Chain A
Amino acid sequence: MRKTVILVLGVVCVVLFYFTFVTADKVFRSDWQMPQTSDHKQAKYRLVLITQELGTSFWDKVGSGALEEAQRAGASIQVWGSYSKNQEDFLKKIEIAIDSKVDGIIVQGLDSDEFKNLTKIKAAFYGIPIITVANDVPMAESLRRTYVGSDQFMAGQMIAKQLLSDMGTEGTVILMGDSRQEDYQQQRMNGIHDVLKQYPKVHMEYAETLDTSEQVMATTKDLMNRLPEVDAFIAVNANITGAMIQEIGKRSQVEPYHIYSFDDSPETLSLLKQGKLDGMIEQSPETMGRISVNLMIKWLSGETVPLDTDGYLTDIRMLKATEAR
């Protein structure tokens, strides 16, 4: 009896002891220490990459390239920006970056007065270097240090040449662009003109539209009504491609038309894969990101002064639907 009582109590004690110990261990284990207050040396340069089109695969690639390069070089970089071309937000981000006195700003060029005002006056006032990436704004207007991205003029030429080889030297081409008339769009247009003007039998029709899909569709409809014999479409601004093709598809088969665009829009690649797009210019976003950061660091450290004001051009190539599939 006595032995049993002691044994039972002993076992109970051992069991309780185990549970108490386990719980106490959980309570007192200090694995929930506050995150370490950073003692490590701050990065040498604080850079910001700002874009209007966050979340697109093109800019994701630019961002990842930039991050990679920054990490390698020991600089810290953050990707800021607005979604779906929200200019107000975008400009605000630039202003914050300037007011935050970052060491360098890598920005997607925007051909607007506010943008130029910010870069030319405010950034210059604070002495913050600006590099445009992917889309350029002429140096005279923005005081940018340099441009990193594709040669948009050459891209226009390439697309025109491709058009000629697909369609022949005869036919009607509709060029459609954003009514904002940004610099890079203009460059492309110039490139296309530069090639096509040598072929008088190629009839070019240029149309501008706002970039809302209703507007794009309306413009497309209107153009097709006016020019029923059209053979080819070139979406000079990649963002209008989707709506344009959708409208064409409503009226007839998409396949007979030669449709070309650029890759800086999330839709174009999938359209190309579906075969609705006959070809697009593929740029090198990752290289852009990498080179821009690299150049910015070189500039900040005084290694390469001055930077080539004409810009550092990255590779472009023609991606055809037949290859993509």
Chain B
Amino acid sequence: MNSIQKKIWTLAAVVLFIMVAIWTTLTYYNQKTQNQYNDILQRYLRLNEVTSASQQTTTALYNYLLTPTEDNLDQLNLSKEKTRKAKIEVIDLRNTENDFTLTNYMNLIDSLVETTDRSLMLQSEKETEDSAKTFTEATRISKYISDMTLTLLDTDLKTYDRFYRGIIEQSAELKKLGVWLLLLITSLLLLFTYWFSLSITRPILKLTQAAKELSRGRFDLQIEVESNDEISFLAKMFDRMRININNLISEIQQKAQLEKELQQNKLLLQESQLRSLQSQINPHFLFNTLNTLSKKAYLEGSEETSDLLVSVADLLRYNLKRLDRSVTLYEEVKVLRQYIEIQRARFTERLQFYSEIDEACLHVQIPGLTLQPIVENAVIHAVEPEENGGAIWFRIVDSGEWVTIEFEDDGPGMTELKIKQILEEHLVETEGHSTGIGFSNVVRRLRLFYGLEDVIGIESGSGRGTKVILKIPKIRGSEKYDKAPDRG
């Protein structure tokens, strides 16, 4: 986990590293330069030392020759020693340019020492004149040494000319380097800081925007934060929260939808029940009367009439009972047959009813009183108005997951508008239905029962007859119809 703290540390480390690197380099460079300066100064100092030592020697010699005391001799020996030491130190100054001169120089120093010794020796042998002469020579040699020191210095200056100029140029360059370095580090730090602050503030900004959107109620925007620190974690959690809220809201919406549907269902039921209640007084009386009539007809030997009356009575009973619960297709088909019986008695030859039934499909659950109103509709529109009657085909076909129930008549058919009205459940007609239940009611109930819109289809056209197709799923998707309170 890359944390913000780590980022800050990285920045600090980078800055520290740059500073340490620069410090080290500059210190090293400074040391190097100083060493070189020391070397240069050393050269001059050493050469100068030779000159002064040689002069000291001649002075000491002079003093000794003048007053040969022990003190002066010590002094002389001391300065001679000094000259010798200076000579040894001068050896280091040798380079290709001054090789020749330096050798001469060193030999001159030797000559000086030798001459001095010779002068001393002559002095001790009391040859004062020769000694004085040798002293003059020593003085001359000392002068030559000074001269040659100058020559050497001159050569050095010439040899090191480029070197010295290099040093000057370099110090100028060093100044420039300082400025450039300052600028470079400034801009590098700016860049780093900008990038660094962006990497922190950008995710926060995104998060802020996302929060704003959420507060406005938009839960469908995904929160994406490209970052590798804690803010990314925060954003992820925030996104999860958003998804949860979104899910909860949609659940609530679904529930509300369900509630609404349930309400509608209840209203429909109430309407149906009202209708049935309205006709309940009559039916009960009628039912009893019909039973009596049936028995009477049977007793009088009119069996056909008796059966018809029983059918009517059964139909009535069925109507009264089965409105608000699901029944099997089998029961529905049975009721349908009784209804056809009754209608046959009415229309005799004018009504031709053909049925093809796949017995295997009859266990399917279906809302009560759905088939009969449709057939009744066909009878009313296709058979009743026609002088020659009409034919009705009724089929139950197994088609895989579905059971297809078809009602077909050869009547005048329906207009497009009518079909649309029916399918959109507009309550238009209630013309003389025996059950009092209209086509629209059936459509509505079927849709509610199966939760499917295309459970019913109508094919029709002017003069082509009408074909109503019900597609009943063998397994019901929803059981909600059953859960509705029983109001039988």
B144 & A95 in contact (Cβ 8 Å cutoff): yes
Those of A11-45 within 8 Å (CB) of chain B: 12-13, 16-17, 19-20, 23-24, 26-28, 31-32, 34-38, 40, 42-43
* A13 proximity list for chain B (CB < 8 A): 184, 187-188, 191
* A28 proximity list for chain B (CB < 8 A): 25, 29
Chain A residue, CB-CB nearest to B195: A6
B163 & A26 in contact (Cβ 8 Å cutoff): no
The answer to the question of B10 belonging to the interface, with a C-beta cut-off of 8 Å to chain A, is: no
Stretch at the interface among B99-107, B327-335, B339-347, B456-464: B99-107
* B174 proximity list for chain A (CB < 8 A): 27
The answer to the question of A72 belonging to the interface, with a C-beta cut-off of 8 Å to chain B, is: no
A159 to chain B, nearest CB (A): 39
A34 & B39 in contact (Cβ 8 Å cutoff): yes
Please report B residues at the A interface, Cβ cutoff 8 Å.
25, 29, 36, 39, 92-97, 99-101, 103-105, 107-108, 110-111, 140-141, 144, 147-148, 159-160, 162-163, 166-167, 169-170, 173-174, 176-177, 180-181, 183-184, 187-188, 190-191, 194-195, 198
Question: Contacts A6-B191, A32-B163, A96-B148 hold; do A27 and B173 have CB atoms under 8 A apart?
Answer: yes
The answer to the question of A273 belonging to the interface, with a C-beta cut-off of 8 Å to chain B, is: no
Bound complex: CA A95 to CA B145 (Å): 12
Bound complex: CA A95 to CA B160 (Å): 29
Partner of A32, one of B167, B183, B187: B167
B180 & A78 in contact (Cβ 8 Å cutoff): no
B95 & A9 in contact (Cβ 8 Å cutoff): no
B191 & A20 in contact (Cβ 8 Å cutoff): no
Bound complex: CA A69 to CA B162 (Å): 30
Partner of A38, one of B99, B111, B181: B99
The answer to the question of A203 belonging to the interface, with a C-beta cut-off of 8 Å to chain B, is: no
Please report A residues at the B interface, Cβ cutoff 8 Å.
2, 5-6, 9-10, 12-13, 16-17, 19-20, 23-24, 26-28, 31-32, 34-38, 40, 42-43, 46, 76, 78, 92, 95-97, 99-102
* A46 proximity list for chain B (CB < 8 A): 100, 103-104
* B96 proximity list for chain A (CB < 8 A): 35-36, 38, 40
A76 & B99 in contact (Cβ 8 Å cutoff): yes
B177 & A9 in contact (Cβ 8 Å cutoff): no
Bound complex: CA A9 to CA B94 (Å): 53
* B141 proximity list for chain A (CB < 8 A): 99
Chain B residue, CB-CB nearest to A101: B107
* A102 proximity list for chain B (CB < 8 A): 104, 107
* B191 proximity list for chain A (CB < 8 A): 6, 9-10, 13
A16 & B187 in contact (Cβ 8 Å cutoff): yes
* B39 proximity list for chain A (CB < 8 A): 34
A35 & B97 in contact (Cβ 8 Å cutoff): yes
Question: Contacts A27-B29, A32-B167 hold; do A9 and B183 have CB atoms under 8 A apart?
Answer: no
* B108 proximity list for chain A (CB < 8 A): 96, 99-100
A2 & B170 in contact (Cβ 8 Å cutoff): no
Question: Contacts A13-B191, A32-B170, A36-B96 hold; do A96 and B104 have CB atoms under 8 A apart?
Answer: yes
Partner of A35, one of B103, B140, B160, B173: B160
Bound complex: CA A147 to CA B152 (Å): 32
Given A9-B187, A100-B108, 7 more A-B residue pairs with CB atoms under 8 Å apart are A9-B191, A24-B177, A27-B29, A28-B29, A31-B166, A37-B93, A38-B95
Partner of B94, one of A6, A37, A97: A37
